[in-house]
Structure 1
Amino acid sequence: MATISFYAGTTAINNLSGSGLGFFGGSFGQSVEINAWQGSTFITNGTGSTNGGTANNVKYSTDTMAYAVGVVPATGLKYIPNKYATCNIRFTNATAVKTQNVRMRVFDRANKNHPASGVVTRAFELLNPRLTYGTVEGSGDAKWWGSSTHDGTDVFSSMQGSPNPSARLPAGVNTVGGSGIIVPLAQSPGPSGFYAGGGNTTTNQYTQHDWYVGLSASPDSVGSKTLYGLYVELEYL
């Protein structure tokens, strides 16, 4: 049976029971300032009231850089190892298959074509199997999806996303959201994402495929933002 699971580090996020990731200020339960970016990321429930443990915090810095675990100052996105991603998306199947047309959306938990409510999101894919930071680039995204300078062309030449800004939001609002900006992910990356290569060249078949993404969020108004979800769709054969 084919299954898609979400992990924060080694901890599974059960998306069926409403648990997932929460973005906070400097610590759990602390608010994020309007138009600022989160200072911490936790596993929590749908209302953000339960502390399920810390997750890797990957924070937007500029359109090409991020603050990540254990690195100061901010670094280029391609230098961040997979192990420091905010979220590991894992597809498993009883028999070996290849995956293609993998798409990630951030939506309002009601309609996959509608962006999240009250939150601006940035996202990028990590493709760097190194265990530590170094001077060697991976082959993932060089720019945050949802940033104003991203033109919608994916790093993987055979896959096309959507141009900025989101068509469902006011002019000038750039965010990953619903049908406005769909984030393409690597084709058939295999276990631990190790076999992704250039992202679109691999057609190998495996029983497990892993994708690693960095996520950063910024509220555009006061109050908790609970109409916020992650949606992944793909083809396998």
Structure 2
Amino acid sequence: MMTNLFSSFDPSTSMNLSLNWLSIMLGLIVLPSMYWIIPSRINFLWYKICLTLSNEFKIILKIKSMKISVLMFVSLFSLILFNNFLSLFPYIFSSTSHLVLTLTLSLPLWLSFMIFGWINNTTSMLAHLVPQGTPPVLMPFMVCIETISNIIRPGTLAIRLTANMIAGHLLLTLMGSTGNKLSLIMINVLVLSQLLLLLLESAVAIIQSYVFSILSTLYSSEVN
């Protein structure tokens, strides 16, 4: 029984153990079959998606061949997409709606970009702090603004993904909790609206995983 509106996002079980985090590993169940069974249309579709993403990431990163960085961002997209979709199923824990997971993904990426950039491209990193054409009077303020905007990048990445996933799940929960108080006609309307909202949440799951990976790629391209 749901004690409050946010209990569906509680990672604890009845034993007060955070076993619900094991739902992150459920996406791995889908992956091995792609390499061991006869290729199907789903495998071909996933291959085309990964190929399209890798080509787009290579354009952003300005490289001509497949490198480990492109594979990393495609894997990041796959991980977030699997977890976003799994959270739409009943009784499966929504791991991407927690800052613990999203910050774990965004903070190490951003920190590695910063360390690499300041060690290998110090002059370029300093140049990014002052946009071209800035008047000399505004340069100290621009340095402060650019520094703050750079520091909050991992937080904005994590909060954007978390907030979008929480909003959709809360709306589904709120609408579903009113079903026992409605008439038969209104229940049909509720079911139809829930299906449309679930379709919207599926689109949000794809868009947010793409936004997270593409912004990480853009942040990586700035330090090269």
Confirm or deny a common fold (TM above 0.5). Answer: no
> Which structure carries more relative contact order (alpha carbon 8 Å, separation 6+)?
2
Structure possessing the higher radius of gyration over alpha carbons: 2
Which protein is richer in strand relative to its size? 1
Shorter-chain TM band: under 0.3
TM-score, length-scaled by structure 1: 0.24
TM-score, length-scaled by structure 2: 0.25
